[in-house]
Amino acid sequence: MSLCVLGVESSCDETAVAVVRRGDDGAIEVLSSVIHSQVVKHAVYGGVVPEIAARSHVETIDDLARLALSQAAEQGVGVDDIDAVAATAGPGLIGGVMVGLSFAKGFALSRGLPLIGVNHLEGHALSVRLTHTVPFPFLLLLVSGGHCQLLHVRGVGDYERLGTTIDDAAGEAFDKIAKTLGLGYPGGPALEAEAAKGDATRFTLPRALLGRKDCDFSYSGLKTAAAKIAMEQVKTPQDRADLCASVQAAIARQLVERSARAMRAFKAENAARTEVTRPAFVVAGGVAANKTVRAELSALSEKEGFDFVAPPLAYCTDNAAMIALAGLERFALMQAAADYDGDKQVQDG
Protein backbone atom coordinates (compact mmCIF):
# COMPACT_ATOMS: atom_id res chain seq x y z
CA MET A 1 0.00 0.00 0.00
CA SER A 2 1.25 3.48 -0.85
CA LEU A 3 2.15 5.72 2.12
CA CYS A 4 2.93 9.42 2.26
CA VAL A 5 4.56 11.16 5.23
CA LEU A 6 5.33 14.80 6.02
CA GLY A 7 8.62 15.09 7.95
CA VAL A 8 9.88 17.94 10.16
CA GLU A 9 13.45 18.46 11.44
CA SER A 10 14.56 21.27 13.78
CA SER A 11 16.99 19.75 16.28
CA CYS A 12 20.01 21.96 15.52
CA ASP A 13 20.60 24.85 13.12
CA GLU A 14 18.65 23.63 10.10
CA THR A 15 14.88 24.01 9.76
CA ALA A 16 13.64 21.39 7.32
CA VAL A 17 10.37 19.98 5.99
CA ALA A 18 9.90 17.15 3.48
CA VAL A 19 7.28 14.94 1.90
CA VAL A 20 8.28 11.33 1.22
CA ARG A 21 6.18 8.65 -0.44
CA ARG A 22 6.56 4.90 -0.60
CA GLY A 23 4.79 3.55 -3.66
CA ASP A 24 2.82 0.31 -3.96
CA ASP A 25 5.97 -1.31 -5.30
CA GLY A 26 7.98 -0.21 -2.23
CA ALA A 27 9.95 2.43 -4.14
CA ILE A 28 10.83 5.52 -2.09
CA GLU A 29 10.28 8.95 -3.64
CA VAL A 30 11.29 12.27 -2.09
CA LEU A 31 8.53 14.58 -3.35
CA SER A 32 10.05 17.61 -1.64
CA SER A 33 12.86 18.33 0.81
CA VAL A 34 13.36 21.97 1.76
CA ILE A 35 15.98 23.24 4.19
CA HIS A 36 16.68 26.64 5.72
CA SER A 37 20.22 26.79 7.10
CA GLN A 38 20.87 29.25 9.92
CA VAL A 39 24.63 29.05 9.48
CA VAL A 40 25.10 32.78 8.74
CA LYS A 41 23.26 33.70 11.94
CA HIS A 42 25.61 31.58 14.07
CA ALA A 43 28.85 32.19 12.15
CA VAL A 44 29.66 35.42 14.03
CA TYR A 45 29.58 33.48 17.32
CA GLY A 46 31.73 30.61 15.97
CA GLY A 47 29.09 28.01 16.91
CA VAL A 48 25.34 27.39 17.25
CA VAL A 49 23.59 29.66 19.78
CA PRO A 50 20.54 27.65 21.03
CA GLU A 51 18.22 30.62 21.60
CA ILE A 52 18.92 32.15 18.19
CA ALA A 53 18.37 28.71 16.65
CA ALA A 54 14.98 28.22 18.35
CA ARG A 55 13.75 31.69 17.36
CA SER A 56 14.83 31.17 13.76
CA HIS A 57 12.95 27.83 13.60
CA VAL A 58 9.76 29.63 14.73
CA GLU A 59 10.21 32.31 12.08
CA THR A 60 10.72 29.94 9.14
CA ILE A 61 8.92 26.67 9.80
CA ASP A 62 5.46 27.55 8.46
CA ASP A 63 6.82 29.03 5.21
CA LEU A 64 9.01 25.95 4.73
CA ALA A 65 6.03 23.63 5.32
CA ARG A 66 4.00 25.59 2.74
CA LEU A 67 6.86 25.29 0.25
CA ALA A 68 7.36 21.56 0.85
CA LEU A 69 3.62 20.91 0.45
CA SER A 70 3.36 23.01 -2.71
CA GLN A 71 6.33 21.19 -4.29
CA ALA A 72 4.69 17.85 -3.46
CA ALA A 73 1.38 19.13 -4.91
CA GLU A 74 3.16 19.94 -8.19
CA GLN A 75 3.87 16.21 -8.41
CA GLY A 76 0.26 15.28 -7.79
CA VAL A 77 0.40 14.67 -4.03
CA GLY A 78 -1.85 17.12 -2.18
CA VAL A 79 -2.20 17.78 1.51
CA ASP A 80 -5.16 15.35 1.63
CA ASP A 81 -2.86 12.56 0.47
CA ILE A 82 -0.61 12.82 3.55
CA ASP A 83 -1.09 9.74 5.77
CA ALA A 84 1.04 10.70 8.80
CA VAL A 85 3.32 13.38 10.22
CA ALA A 86 6.82 12.64 11.58
CA ALA A 87 9.01 15.03 13.57
CA THR A 88 12.35 14.83 15.32
CA ALA A 89 11.62 14.32 19.03
CA GLY A 90 15.30 14.37 20.13
CA PRO A 91 18.17 14.31 20.76
CA GLY A 92 19.03 17.91 19.97
CA LEU A 93 18.77 21.48 21.22
CA ILE A 94 15.56 21.38 23.23
CA GLY A 95 14.24 24.79 22.08
CA GLY A 96 14.51 23.76 18.44
CA VAL A 97 13.08 20.28 19.00
CA MET A 98 10.04 21.82 20.75
CA VAL A 99 9.36 24.15 17.80
CA GLY A 100 9.36 21.38 15.18
CA LEU A 101 7.50 18.89 17.33
CA SER A 102 4.80 21.39 18.33
CA PHE A 103 4.36 22.48 14.72
CA ALA A 104 4.01 18.83 13.64
CA LYS A 105 1.60 18.14 16.48
CA GLY A 106 -0.61 21.07 15.48
CA PHE A 107 -0.54 20.01 11.83
CA ALA A 108 -1.38 16.40 12.70
CA LEU A 109 -4.20 17.44 15.05
CA SER A 110 -5.77 19.81 12.54
CA ARG A 111 -5.75 17.15 9.80
CA GLY A 112 -6.68 14.20 12.05
CA LEU A 113 -3.40 12.41 11.24
CA PRO A 114 -1.14 10.25 13.41
CA LEU A 115 2.04 11.91 14.72
CA ILE A 116 5.26 9.87 14.90
CA GLY A 117 8.11 11.16 17.06
CA VAL A 118 11.43 10.17 15.46
CA ASN A 119 14.84 9.84 17.09
CA HIS A 120 17.16 12.09 15.05
CA LEU A 121 19.82 9.36 14.99
CA GLU A 122 17.35 6.86 13.59
CA GLY A 123 16.77 9.36 10.78
CA HIS A 124 20.49 9.39 10.01
CA ALA A 125 20.65 5.60 10.35
CA LEU A 126 17.98 5.04 7.69
CA SER A 127 18.73 8.05 5.40
CA VAL A 128 20.73 5.92 2.97
CA ARG A 129 17.48 4.10 2.09
CA LEU A 130 16.15 7.33 0.52
CA THR A 131 18.44 6.79 -2.44
CA HIS A 132 19.97 3.30 -2.25
CA THR A 133 18.59 -0.21 -1.88
CA VAL A 134 20.61 -1.26 1.14
CA PRO A 135 19.41 -4.48 2.78
CA PHE A 136 19.57 -5.06 6.54
CA PRO A 137 21.84 -5.66 8.35
CA PHE A 138 24.42 -2.98 7.55
CA LEU A 139 27.12 -1.09 9.42
CA LEU A 140 26.75 2.66 9.84
CA LEU A 141 29.31 5.29 10.75
CA LEU A 142 27.48 8.46 11.71
CA VAL A 143 29.99 11.25 11.82
CA SER A 144 28.68 14.78 12.22
CA GLY A 145 29.13 17.88 14.37
CA GLY A 146 27.03 16.43 17.18
CA HIS A 147 27.55 12.68 16.81
CA CYS A 148 30.28 10.15 16.19
CA GLN A 149 28.89 6.63 16.40
CA LEU A 150 29.21 3.18 14.87
CA LEU A 151 25.87 1.37 14.66
CA HIS A 152 24.98 -2.18 13.68
CA VAL A 153 21.67 -1.57 11.89
CA ARG A 154 19.74 -4.85 11.96
CA GLY A 155 16.36 -3.43 10.93
CA VAL A 156 13.93 -0.57 11.56
CA GLY A 157 14.06 0.05 15.32
CA ASP A 158 16.74 -2.59 15.81
CA TYR A 159 20.11 -0.91 16.33
CA GLU A 160 23.17 -1.79 18.36
CA ARG A 161 25.64 0.94 19.19
CA LEU A 162 29.11 -0.54 18.73
CA GLY A 163 30.97 2.64 19.60
CA THR A 164 30.55 6.32 20.35
CA THR A 165 32.69 9.30 21.22
CA ILE A 166 33.72 9.61 24.84
CA ASP A 167 34.19 13.37 24.46
CA ASP A 168 33.90 15.39 21.22
CA ALA A 169 32.38 14.34 17.90
CA ALA A 170 34.73 14.35 14.88
CA GLY A 171 32.89 17.32 13.29
CA GLU A 172 33.15 19.20 16.56
CA ALA A 173 36.92 18.57 16.53
CA PHE A 174 37.12 19.97 12.98
CA ASP A 175 35.06 23.01 14.06
CA LYS A 176 36.94 23.73 17.30
CA ILE A 177 40.42 23.31 15.82
CA ALA A 178 39.42 25.49 12.85
CA LYS A 179 38.24 28.14 15.29
CA THR A 180 41.59 28.04 17.15
CA LEU A 181 43.33 28.56 13.81
CA GLY A 182 41.13 31.51 12.91
CA LEU A 183 39.29 29.72 10.08
CA GLY A 184 35.57 30.29 9.49
CA TYR A 185 32.51 28.45 10.81
CA PRO A 186 31.61 25.69 10.12
CA GLY A 187 35.24 24.70 10.37
CA GLY A 188 35.24 21.36 8.54
CA PRO A 189 35.15 22.66 4.96
CA ALA A 190 37.55 25.54 5.80
CA LEU A 191 40.03 23.17 7.44
CA GLU A 192 39.80 20.78 4.48
CA ALA A 193 40.61 23.61 2.05
CA GLU A 194 43.67 24.62 4.12
CA ALA A 195 44.77 20.99 4.46
CA ALA A 196 44.91 20.66 0.67
CA LYS A 197 47.91 23.05 0.69
CA GLY A 198 49.72 21.35 3.59
CA ASP A 199 52.00 18.45 4.49
CA ALA A 200 50.15 15.88 6.63
CA THR A 201 53.40 14.38 7.94
CA ARG A 202 54.78 17.64 9.35
CA PHE A 203 53.29 17.47 12.89
CA THR A 204 52.93 14.39 15.10
CA LEU A 205 49.57 14.27 16.87
CA PRO A 206 48.33 11.85 19.58
CA ARG A 207 46.63 8.57 18.58
CA ALA A 208 43.88 8.33 21.20
CA LEU A 209 42.44 4.97 22.34
CA LEU A 210 44.77 3.07 20.06
CA GLY A 211 45.08 -0.01 22.26
CA ARG A 212 41.44 -0.11 23.37
CA LYS A 213 39.42 -3.12 22.35
CA ASP A 214 36.13 -1.26 21.83
CA CYS A 215 34.98 0.94 18.94
CA ASP A 216 34.80 4.24 20.86
CA PHE A 217 36.25 7.55 19.68
CA SER A 218 38.03 10.40 21.46
CA TYR A 219 39.00 13.74 19.97
CA SER A 220 39.64 16.05 22.91
CA GLY A 221 43.35 15.13 23.20
CA LEU A 222 43.82 15.96 19.54
CA LYS A 223 42.11 19.30 20.05
CA THR A 224 44.42 20.19 22.96
CA ALA A 225 47.56 19.03 21.10
CA ALA A 226 46.55 21.03 18.00
CA ALA A 227 45.91 24.15 20.10
CA LYS A 228 49.39 23.82 21.68
CA ILE A 229 51.10 23.44 18.30
CA ALA A 230 49.06 26.37 16.95
CA MET A 231 50.29 28.58 19.76
CA GLU A 232 53.93 27.50 19.74
CA GLN A 233 54.80 26.55 16.17
CA VAL A 234 52.34 28.08 13.72
CA LYS A 235 53.94 31.29 12.45
CA THR A 236 53.35 31.27 8.66
CA PRO A 237 50.46 30.34 6.34
CA GLN A 238 52.41 27.20 5.39
CA ASP A 239 52.68 26.16 9.07
CA ARG A 240 48.92 26.56 9.38
CA ALA A 241 48.25 24.50 6.25
CA ASP A 242 50.61 21.78 7.51
CA LEU A 243 48.80 21.66 10.86
CA CYS A 244 45.41 21.44 9.12
CA ALA A 245 46.66 18.55 6.95
CA SER A 246 48.08 16.76 10.02
CA VAL A 247 44.81 17.24 11.97
CA GLN A 248 42.70 16.00 9.07
CA ALA A 249 44.93 12.92 8.71
CA ALA A 250 44.68 12.21 12.46
CA ILE A 251 40.88 12.48 12.45
CA ALA A 252 40.61 10.23 9.39
CA ARG A 253 43.04 7.73 10.92
CA GLN A 254 40.95 7.31 14.07
CA LEU A 255 37.75 6.93 12.04
CA VAL A 256 39.47 4.19 10.03
CA GLU A 257 40.92 2.38 13.05
CA ARG A 258 37.64 2.27 14.96
CA SER A 259 35.58 1.39 11.85
CA ALA A 260 37.96 -1.49 11.13
CA ARG A 261 37.24 -2.92 14.60
CA ALA A 262 33.49 -2.51 14.08
CA MET A 263 33.68 -4.24 10.70
CA ARG A 264 35.32 -7.26 12.30
CA ALA A 265 32.67 -7.39 15.06
CA PHE A 266 29.94 -7.09 12.42
CA LYS A 267 31.41 -9.92 10.35
CA ALA A 268 31.83 -12.16 13.41
CA GLU A 269 28.16 -11.70 14.37
CA ASN A 270 26.87 -12.37 10.87
CA ALA A 271 29.35 -15.13 9.97
CA ALA A 272 26.69 -17.86 10.00
CA ARG A 273 24.28 -15.94 7.75
CA THR A 274 24.97 -17.02 4.19
CA GLU A 275 22.78 -14.22 2.75
CA VAL A 276 25.06 -11.54 4.26
CA THR A 277 27.83 -11.84 1.68
CA ARG A 278 28.97 -8.29 1.02
CA PRO A 279 27.34 -6.00 3.60
CA ALA A 280 27.17 -2.22 3.24
CA PHE A 281 29.31 0.18 5.22
CA VAL A 282 27.28 3.39 5.22
CA VAL A 283 28.84 6.73 6.14
CA ALA A 284 26.45 9.55 7.04
CA GLY A 285 26.78 12.99 8.66
CA GLY A 286 28.48 16.21 7.58
CA VAL A 287 32.06 14.91 7.97
CA ALA A 288 31.31 12.36 5.23
CA ALA A 289 31.76 15.33 2.86
CA ASN A 290 35.50 15.34 3.62
CA LYS A 291 37.39 13.86 0.64
CA THR A 292 40.27 12.41 2.70
CA VAL A 293 37.87 10.79 5.19
CA ARG A 294 35.79 9.38 2.33
CA ALA A 295 38.79 8.02 0.40
CA GLU A 296 40.26 6.29 3.45
CA LEU A 297 36.97 4.76 4.56
CA SER A 298 36.28 3.62 1.02
CA ALA A 299 39.71 1.91 0.86
CA LEU A 300 39.07 0.26 4.24
CA SER A 301 35.68 -1.05 3.05
CA GLU A 302 37.29 -2.59 -0.01
CA LYS A 303 39.93 -4.28 2.15
CA GLU A 304 37.40 -5.68 4.64
CA GLY A 305 34.85 -6.84 2.03
CA PHE A 306 32.17 -4.16 2.59
CA ASP A 307 30.34 -2.08 -0.01
CA PHE A 308 31.12 1.57 0.73
CA VAL A 309 27.91 3.63 0.50
CA ALA A 310 27.68 7.36 1.14
CA PRO A 311 24.27 8.98 0.64
CA PRO A 312 24.25 12.22 -1.41
CA LEU A 313 25.42 15.11 0.75
CA ALA A 314 21.93 16.65 0.93
CA TYR A 315 20.79 13.54 2.83
CA CYS A 316 24.06 13.09 4.79
CA THR A 317 23.64 16.35 6.67
CA ASP A 318 20.52 17.29 8.65
CA ASN A 319 17.34 17.15 6.55
CA ALA A 320 13.68 16.30 6.95
CA ALA A 321 13.47 13.62 4.23
CA MET A 322 15.32 11.21 6.54
CA ILE A 323 12.87 12.00 9.37
CA ALA A 324 9.89 11.46 7.04
CA LEU A 325 11.40 8.14 5.91
CA ALA A 326 12.10 6.91 9.47
CA GLY A 327 8.51 7.89 10.41
CA LEU A 328 7.19 6.15 7.30
CA GLU A 329 9.09 2.92 8.00
CA ARG A 330 7.86 2.91 11.62
CA PHE A 331 4.29 3.72 10.59
CA ALA A 332 4.33 0.89 8.02
CA LEU A 333 5.47 -1.56 10.74
CA MET A 334 2.72 -0.35 13.11
CA GLN A 335 0.12 -0.80 10.37
CA ALA A 336 1.40 -4.28 9.54
CA ALA A 337 1.21 -5.25 13.24
CA ALA A 338 -2.36 -3.85 13.50
CA ASP A 339 -3.41 -5.74 10.33
CA TYR A 340 -1.90 -8.94 11.76
CA ASP A 341 -3.80 -8.48 15.07
CA GLY A 342 -7.02 -7.77 13.16
CA ASP A 343 -6.64 -10.88 10.97
CA LYS A 344 -5.84 -12.99 14.02
CA GLN A 345 -8.94 -11.79 15.86
CA VAL A 346 -11.10 -12.68 12.83
CA GLN A 347 -9.51 -16.16 12.64
CA ASP A 348 -9.74 -16.71 16.43
CA GLY A 349 -13.26 -15.33 16.62
Contact set with ligand KG4 (CB under 6 A): 12, 144-146, 171, 174-175, 186-189, 192, 285-287, 289-290, 317-318
| Smallest separation (angstroms) from ligand KG4 to the CB of 64 | 17
The reply, when asked if residue 188 is annotated as ligand binding, is: yes
CA pair distance 20, 181, nearest whole angstrom: 41
The reply, when asked if residue 318 is annotated as ligand binding, is: yes
| 205: number of Cβ within 10 Å | 17
| Smallest separation (angstroms) from ligand KG4 to the CB of 195 | 9
Query: Which is closer to ligand KG4, CB of 28 or CB of 191?
Result: 191
The reply, when asked if residue 42 is annotated as ligand binding, is: no
CA pair distance 268, 260, nearest whole angstrom: 13
Q: Pick from ligand KG4, Zn ion, none: which does 186 bind, CB < 5 to 8 A by kind?
A: ligand KG4
Helix H or strand E encompassing 244? helix 237-269
Exposure string for 140-179, b = 16+ CB within 10 A, e = fewer: bbbbbbbbbbbbbbeebeebeebbbbebbbbbbbbbbbbb
Q: Pick from Zn ion, ligand KG4, none: which does 175 bind, CB < 5 to 8 A by kind?
A: ligand KG4
Query: Which is closer to ligand KG4, CB of 72 or CB of 297?
Result: 297
CA pair distance 100, 6, nearest whole angstrom: 12
Among 9, 168, 318, 329, binds Zn ion (CB under 5 A): 318
Query: Which is closer to Zn ion, CB of 144 or CB of 218?
Result: 144
Task: Name which of 193, 207, 194, 204 is nearest 229 in CA terms.
Answer: 204
The reply, when asked if residue 214 is annotated as ligand binding, is: no
- Residue 168 sits in the site that holds Zn ion (CB under 5 A): no
Q: Pick from ligand KG4, Zn ion, none: which does 192 bind, CB < 5 to 8 A by kind?
A: ligand KG4
Pairing of strands 84-90, 3-9: parallel
- Give the phi and the psi of residue 235 in degrees, each rounded to 5: -115, -30
Q: Pick from ligand KG4, Zn ion, none: which does 286 bind, CB < 5 to 8 A by kind?
A: ligand KG4
CA pair distance 297, 282, nearest whole angstrom: 10
User: Residues near 131 by Cβ (< 8 Å), separated by ≥ 6?
Assistant: 311, 312, 315
Q: Pick from Zn ion, ligand KG4, none: which does 289 bind, CB < 5 to 8 A by kind?
A: ligand KG4
The reply, when asked if residue 36 is annotated as ligand binding, is: no
Binding-site positions: 120, 124, 142-146, 175, 188, 192, 290, 318
Binding-site positions for Fe cation: 120, 124, 318
Point out which residues bind Zn ion (CB under 5 A): 144, 318
